[in-house]
Amino acid sequence: MTAALEHPSPDRIEEFGRELDAIREKVIADLGAVDVDYIRRVLKAQRGMEIAGRGLLMLPPTWLLGTALLACSKILDNMEIGHNIMHGQYEWTGDPALNGRTFEWDTACPADQWRHSHNVVHHTYTNILGMDRDIGYGVLRMSPDQPWRPYFLGNPVYAFLLMVLFQYGVALHEVETERIRAGEISLADKRQVLEEIWRKTRRQTLKDYLAFPLLAGPFAPFVFAGNLTANLVRNVWAFSIIFCGHFPAGTQEFTVEETREETRGQWYYRQILGSANLTGGRLFHIMSGNLSHQIEHHLFPNLPARRYAEIAPQVREICERYGLPYNSGPLPTQFATVVRKIVRLALPGRAV
């Protein structure tokens, strides 16, 4: 662990875990039509914006508006809709359109691979160095506990590239390039994974950069540029929100040793120490897929995300009572600390 923190006693941690369990049970007992109506409204808005956006960006006078709508649609599709549905947050509804195991999203990463790399790996082993591959995505040095190598001098450059190409970075997650580079596995071991990524990425590319532009005839360049911009905006936004979830100043990483034989209470404890929230208005929370409530999301990844806002004060109050940090701040402040960390960790040493 990077910062010295007095751990609560084991009994106290379990007590703390039971209080969190109680919050979840209360929300689960209350789930109903209001939650389904909400996600369907978001789906409707996303599809409406997608259709309107794709139409409007074909013509120069409305290009900017259309591109903005398409970008919003992609952000909603990936975050409030795709990410949350694929967590199984709406599986209790029995609606196949909201089924987390079959949902596919409008981004380069195949949904099946995401379900493994995110739901299983990242959410189970959150912030455990060497296990949670979201720490640096296999290309960045995001923790002082990662040994420095000259390669990391390019940390800010890699981070910038990851930001603008974020959908491809996410798509390549399951390839585990750092293990290939280390010689632990060979490229041939990842053949099937690569084939799936290729199929999904090819479809997405054909759609945004060939089929829709051709459909616009003489206005093809506008459509091409609009789709490129919308994808870029989504990439930068998603990267910013996601990197603010676990890397702002104050979040902690863990070692495999200290998390071995973890109890449920300790698991909750780790989720809180390793996550950070973003403050903002209702629209901001929706556009961030409620990942602005990263702490609540990591405690209860399969509760409908719209519920995080209502339980956040309760979680915060529990944290205060147990003397645990509750890391929260506005996006610009939190993101600045992330950038600082990326730049600082390009150089050797442990200080951040």
Partner 1 sequence: MFTQTLVRRAVRSPLAELLLGPHGPDRYTEIVNPMWTSETRAAVTRVRRSTPRSVTLWLQPNRPVTWRAGQHLTVTVEVDGRRHARCYSPANVEGSALIELTIARHDGGTVSEFLFQNGRPGLVVGLSGPAGDFALPDRCPSRMLFVAGGSGITPVLAMLRTLQSDGFDGTTALLYYTRTADDACYRGELVDLGVPVRHVYTRDQAAGDLTGRFDERHLAAAMTDPDAVFVCGPTTLVDAVRRCRPDAVAETFAAPVVAVPEAPGGGRILFRDSGIGIEDDGRPLLEQAESAGLAPQSGCRIGICHTCTRRKLRGAVRSLTTSTVSTADDEDVQICVSVAVGDVDIAL
Chain residues binding partner 1 by CB under 8 A are 21, 24-25, 28, 31-37, 43-44, 47-48, 51, 87-88, 91-97, 100-101, 104-106, 111, 115-116, 119-120, 123-124, 200, 203, 206-207, 211-212, 215, 264, 267, 301-302
What is the DSSP secondary-structure string of 173-187? GGG-HHHHHTTSS-G
**Residues in Cβ contact with 141 at an 8 Å cutoff, skipping those fewer than 6 apart:** 148, 152, 155, 345, 346
Q: Which residue's CB is nearer to partner 1, number 86 or number 142? A: 86
Phi/psi region, residue 153 (left: phi>0; alpha: psi -120 to 50; beta: rest), is: alpha
Shortest separation between residue 273's beta carbon and partner 1, angstroms: 17
Shortest separation between residue 182's beta carbon and partner 1, angstroms: 24
Q: Which residue's CB is nearer to partner 1, number 16 or number 335? A: 16
Shortest separation between residue 30's beta carbon and partner 1, angstroms: 11
Shortest separation between residue 50's beta carbon and partner 1, angstroms: 8
Q: Which residue's CB is nearer to partner 1, number 146 or number 205? A: 205
CB 286 within 8 A of CB 262: no
Q: Which residue's CB is nearer to partner 1, number 213 or number 248? A: 213
Element housing 193 (H / E): helix 191-206
What is the DSSP secondary-structure string of 162-173? HHHTHHHHHHTG
Q: Which residue's CB is nearer to partner 1, number 96 or number 183? A: 96
CB 120 within 8 A of CB 174: no
Shortest separation between residue 208's beta carbon and partner 1, angstroms: 10
For 13, 84, 290, the CA distances from 30, given in Å and listed in that order, are 26, 18, 19
- The candidate with the shortest Cα–Cα distance to 224, out of 332, 91, 350, 63, is 63
CB 293 within 8 A of CB 275: no
Q: Which residue's CB is nearer to partner 1, number 49 or number 312? A: 49
Shortest separation between residue 150's beta carbon and partner 1, angstroms: 36
